[in-house]
Amino acid sequence: MAEIIKKLAGQTALYGLSSILPRFLNYALVPLHTALYSTNQYGIITEMYAYVAFLVILLTYGMETAYFRFTNKEGSEESLVFGTIIRSIATTSLIFIATAIFFQQGIADWLKYPNHSEYVVWFAIIIGLDAISAIPLARLRHQNKPLRFASINLSSVVVNVALNFFFLGYCMTSYQAGETNFIIDALYNPEIGVGYVFISNLAASVFKILMSLPTFYGIKLTFNLSLLKKLLIYGSPLLIAGLAGIVNETLDRILLKYLLFDTLGELEAMSQLGIYGACYKLSIIITLFIQAFRYAAEPFFFAQAKNKDAPEVYANVMNYFVAVCGLIFLGVTLYLDIIKFFIPNPEYWVGLKVVPILLLANICLGIYFNQSIWYKMTDKTKYGAYIAIGGAIITIVLNVILIPILGYMGSAWTTLVVYALMVISSYLLGQRHFPVPYNLKKVGSYLALALVLFYLGTWMQNEYGFQYLIATFAVLLFVGFVYWSEIKMTKTITNES
For the stretch 222-277, pLDDT in tens is 777 888 888 888 888 778 878 887 888 888 888 888 888 778 877 888 899 999 99
Question: b/e string for 105-142 if b means 16 or more Cβ within 10 A?
Answer: eebbeebebeebbebbbbbbbbbbbbbbbbbbbbbbbb
Rounded to an integer, what distance in angstroms lies between the CA atom of residue 407 and that of residue 113? Answer: 23
Task: Work out how many domains the chain is built from and give that number.
Answer: 1
Contact 377, 302 (CB under 8 A): yes
What pLDDT is recorded for position 229? Answer: 87
Q: What H or E segment, with its residue span, contains residue 80?
A: helix 78-102
- Is the residue at 446 inside a domain? no
Contact 325, 363 (CB under 8 A): yes
- Is the residue at 478 inside a domain? no
- Is the residue at 28 inside a domain? yes
- Is the residue at 454 inside a domain? no
Rounded to an integer, what distance in angstroms lies between the CA atom of residue 305 and that of residue 430? Answer: 15
Q: The whole model's pTM is what?
A: 0.79
- Residue 354 pLDDT exceeds 90: yes
Write down the number of H helices and E strands in the chain: 22, 0
Q: What is the pLDDT of residues 11-35, one digit of tens each?
A: 555 555 555 666 677 778 889 999 9
- Residue 402 pLDDT exceeds 90: yes
- Is the residue at 481 inside a domain? no
Contact 481, 327 (CB under 8 A): no
- Is the residue at 469 inside a domain? no
Among 254-268, 292-306, 456-470, which is the least confidently predicted range?
292-306
Sign of the torsion formed by the C-alpha atoms of 315, 319, 320 and 324:
positive
Residues 6 or more apart in contact with residue 395 via CB below 8 angstroms: 247, 248, 251, 252, 414, 415, 418
Rounded to an integer, what distance in angstroms lies between the CA atom of residue 165 and that of residue 29? Answer: 8
Contact 281, 422 (CB under 8 A): no
Rounded to an integer, what distance in angstroms lies between the CA atom of residue 282 and that of residue 355? Answer: 7
Residue 11 domain boundaries: 2-438
Rounded to an integer, what distance in angstroms lies between the CA atom of residue 400 and that of residue 404? Answer: 7
* Torsional class of 261: left (φ above 0), alpha (ψ -120 to 50), beta (otherwise): alpha
Contact 108, 117 (CB under 8 A): yes
- Is the residue at 489 inside a domain? no
Biggest CA pair distance of the chain: 76
Separation of first and last alpha carbons in the chain: 12
Contact 27, 340 (CB under 8 A): no
- Is the residue at 458 inside a domain? no
What pLDDT is recorded for position 316? Answer: 83
